Structure 1
Amino acid sequence: MSKTPMVLSAWQRLSKLPLGPRLFTRMICMKAPYFGSISPLITELAFGHCVASVKKHRAVTNHLGTVHAIAMCNLAEVAGGIMTEASVPPDTHRWIPKGMTVSYLKKAGTDVRAVAHFPTPPVFGDEGFELPTAVTIYDTAGEAVFEAEIRMWVSPKPAKR
């Protein structure tokens, strides 16, 4: 039986505290510093599910005053990556993003919220496989403004010598 991924254990402990989600997100941004460039906040995390948000502020806007495309790509990678980290068995498997396809559906003129999930539940076996991860980003009206499919490569960890 696989143990609970460390990131999921940390979320389960910290998310119960008053500032726990902020502390958890800060820890994630320390581990992956580029994520901090958009000041995300992870608000939900479970096997196969993650929600993260970004407040609209100057650092994430473009010349039109909307949330810029690369900020939304970064938010999609935050949500999809943390969800994958929380879902892949840490004692037997590893993962890495292999590619991302995105669609910009409409201008994001408000704060945004990313919801990540696996379209098909993963089965972890003895062979490496591509795991599609779906991320949709919504504005504060609940309208989808961005969609991404991140292709994660999941493979067994090499045997220890």
Structure 2
Amino acid sequence: MTTPLLSLYRRLSRWPCGRWLFTRAVCFKAPYFASISPRITLLEAGRCEGTLADRRKVRNHIGTVHAIALCNLAELTAGLMVDASLPADMRWIPKGMEVRYQAKARGTLKAVAVPELPIASATAGYELPVRVGIHDATGTEVFVARIAMWVSPRRGNG
């Protein structure tokens, strides 16, 4: 199974600067995410990875990456992973997010989003928990989020 989003990622990622172009297309569709200038580095069914560069526009008053910038990266990677993984007859929307800030976030940060349960078609809606860990360049997990995605059948199915 390949979703339209996953097909686009695969097609663009073969080109020089293709992942950059894919990320720009995503940020065009959902403009708020452009505020953190993310980069999607891997997208496949069941996994999404993205990076966030430590630059002035994402820093807080103590010189570390702002907590909300980390939340934005977590929501972006989780949403893309779910969208790339869902059967065509299902849809999703974020329902809630629990986060833990575990260490000061500095330098280029890498987010990895994976589902905590199998993703499948269903006749009724269900909550899909997605774990997003964000690590710094040393491998230290500086942030972790558990995002509850509400997955439900698309209207008009059946």
TM-score range, shorter chain: over 0.9
RMSD: 1.3
| Cα drift, residue 4 of structure 1 | 2.2
| Cα drift, residue 111 of structure 1 | 1.2
Task: Summarize deviations over 1:105-152 as a string: whole Å, max 9, x none.
Answer: 010121111000012222221111000000000001111000000000
- Matched positions, count: 158
Structure 1: runs of 5 or more not aligned: none
Note if contact 2:116-2:130 (Cα within 8 Å) is conserved in structure 1. Answer: yes
Residues 94-109 of structure 1 aligned to structure 2 (within 5 Å): 94-109=91-106
Q: Percent identity?
A: 51
For 1:85 and 1:50, the matched residues in 2 are separated by 10
**One-letter amino acid of the structure 1 residue matched with residue 148 of structure 2:** R
Picking from 26, 42, 49, the partner of 1:51 is: 49
Aligned residue for 2:69? 71
For 2:149 and 2:50, the matched residues in 1 are separated by 19
Aligned residue for 1:124? 121
TM-score (norm 1): 0.95
Picking from 80, 83, 90, the partner of 1:82 is: 80
Aligned residue for 2:12? 14
For 2:47 and 2:2, the matched residues in 1 are separated by 15
Aligned residue for 2:151? 154
For 2:90 and 2:56, the matched residues in 1 are separated by 39
For 1:112 and 1:86, the matched residues in 2 are separated by 22
